[in-house]
Structure 1
Amino acid sequence: MTTTVTTWHLEQTAPSDLSPAQEPPAAAGVRIARAEVPSPEFSHFLYTAVGSDVAWTDRLVWSREAWEEYLHRPGVETWVAYERGTPAGYIELEGQDEGVVEIVYFGLLPAFRGRRIGGHLLTWGTSRAWDMADQRPDRVPTKRVWVHTCSKDGPYALDNYRRRGFRVFDVKTSDEE
Structure 2
Amino acid sequence: MDLPPGKIAAIATYLELRAPPEGDAVPFEGRLERITDDLRRYRALYARIGEPWLWFTRAVLDDAALGRIIAHPQVEALALAGEEGDRALVELDFRRPGECELVFFGLVPEACGRGVGTRLLREALRRAFARPVSRIWLHTCTLDHPAALPLYLKAGFRPYRRAVEIADDPRLGGHLPETAAPFFPIL
State whether residues 10 and 168 of structure 1, in contact with CA within 8 Å, keep that contact through their aligned partners in structure 2: yes
Q: Matched residues in 2 for 1:120 and 1:22: separation?
A: 6
Partner of residue 164 from structure 1, selected from 149, 155, 160: 155
How many residue pairs were aligned? 163
Decide whether the 8 Å contact of 2:35 with 2:79 is kept in 1: no
Listed one character per residue, the Cα deviations across residues 6-49 of structure 1 (whole Å, up to 9, x for unaligned) are 2111111112x45778656xxxxx12313254311111112111
Relative to structure 1, is the Cα distance of residues 23 and 7 closer, same or farther in structure 2, using a 3 angstrom cutoff?
same
Percent identity, aligned pairs only, is 28
Contact 1:13 1:144 in 2 (8 A): yes
5+ residue gaps, structure 2 = 168-186
Q: Is the CA contact 1:22–1:116 (under 8 Å) kept in the aligned structure 2?
A: no
One-letter amino acid matched to 2:155:
R
Deviation of 1:97 after TM superposition, in Å, equals 2.2
1:89 paired residue number: 88
The corresponding residue for 2:108 is 109
Secondary structure, aligned partner of 2:152:
helix
Q: Who is 2:19 aligned against?
A: 14
Question: Does the CA-based 8 Å contact 2:78-2:89 persist in structure 1?
Answer: yes
Q: CA deviation at 1:85?
A: 4.1
TM-score by length of 2: 0.77
* d(CA) in 2 for partners of 1:21, 1:114: 19
Distance 1:154 1:61 in 2: 20
Alpha-carbon separation, structure 2, partners of 1:150 and 1:67: 22
The Cα offsets for residues 100-152 of structure 1, whole Å up to 9 and x where unpaired, read as 000001100111111111111111111111113xxxxxxxx111001110011
Gaps in structure 1 of 5+ consecutive residues: 25-29, 133-140
Provide the alpha-carbon RMSD of the alignment.
Answer: 2.3
Which stretches of structure 1, 4 residues or more, deviate above 6 A after TM superposition? none
8 Å CA contact retained: 1:12, 1:167 = yes
Structure-1 separation of matches of 2:25 and 2:146: 18
Contact 1:101 1:129 (C-alpha < 8 Å) held by counterparts:
yes
Look up the SS of the partner of 1:128 in the other structure: helix
TM-score by length of 1: 0.81
Q: How does 1:148-159 map to 2 (within 5 A)?
A: 148-159=139-150
